[in-house]
Amino acid sequence: MKLIIVGAPGAGKGTQAAILADTLKVPTISTGAVLRKEIADGTAFGKTADGYIKAGNLVPDEFMVELMKDRLSRDDCQNGFILDGFPRTVKQAEALDEMGVAIDKVLDIEVADEAIVERLSGRRECPSCRATYHTAYNPPKQADICDKCSAALTVREDDKPETIQNRLNVYHKSTEPLIDFYRKKGLLVVAQGQEEVTQTTKEVFRALGIE
């Protein structure tokens, strides 16, 4: 399946993408994770992206489109993929169409703005294997230690309260129009984000028609 996941920052796109990738046996491409790796590696592209991300703004479309052209042409994407974080503007969605990529479904995970701040401020990330946790909703077995690789968990730079609000504003202005864009193409399915990860997964599987 060639699947796009859209939703506000913190809606649970990355969490559900990891579960779906296991079930569907396709790779997940998280543009946020790709960008954070470029920053950690100190590449020229990472240096450009860093300021945008720290402020909670979008990296310009032309950079993202070039990045994804390269990524989607690789062998592991030929039998399907999950896109978590791309496209994020109508311009990026049009560029994806121009690449000739035929998307099967677009999953929108809906979560109210009020829940987002709580989710993002409690998020912890593994800097080594990129597993994501939440201090209350999805805690690691040992506080601040990754269950999978035992690395010390960290807080993302863009999960500060003032940045979270800007990310939400940017989402409503620049990314939400994608929902109509894909609804008109007949590709959109919607899952209501629930208070627990497992409940959300049930909604997601139902929306996608996965048994």
Give contact residues for ligand AP5 (rule: CB under 6 A). 7, 9-15, 31-32, 35, 52-53, 56-59, 64, 85-86, 88, 92, 119, 122-123, 132-134, 137-138, 158, 167, 193-197, 200
For residue 137 the two structure tokens come to 């909703």
Question: Could you confirm whether 156 is annotated as catalytic?
Answer: yes
Looking at the Cβ atoms of 102 and 136, the one nearer to ligand AP5 is 136
Taking a C-beta distance cutoff of 8 angstroms, is the pair 131, 146 a contact?
yes
Looking at the Cβ atoms of 12 and 126, the one nearer to ligand AP5 is 12
Looking at the Cβ atoms of 15 and 26, the one nearer to ligand AP5 is 15
Closest approach, Cβ 7 to ligand AP5, in A, equals 6
Q: Which residues contact 200 (CB under 8 A, 6 or more apart)?
A: 12, 15, 16, 109, 191, 193, 194
Question: Could you confirm whether 13 is annotated as catalytic?
Answer: yes
| Angle (nearest 5°) at CA 179 between 176 and 182 | 145
Q: Which of 130, 156, 160, 183 is catalytic?
A: 156
Question: Could you confirm whether 183 is annotated as catalytic?
Answer: no
Q: Is 7 exposed, middle or buried (0-12, 13-18, 19+ CB in 10 A)?
A: buried
CA 187 to chain centre: 18
Q: Which of 13, 36, 119, 124 is catalytic?
A: 13
The residues that are catalytic are 13, 88, 123, 156, 167
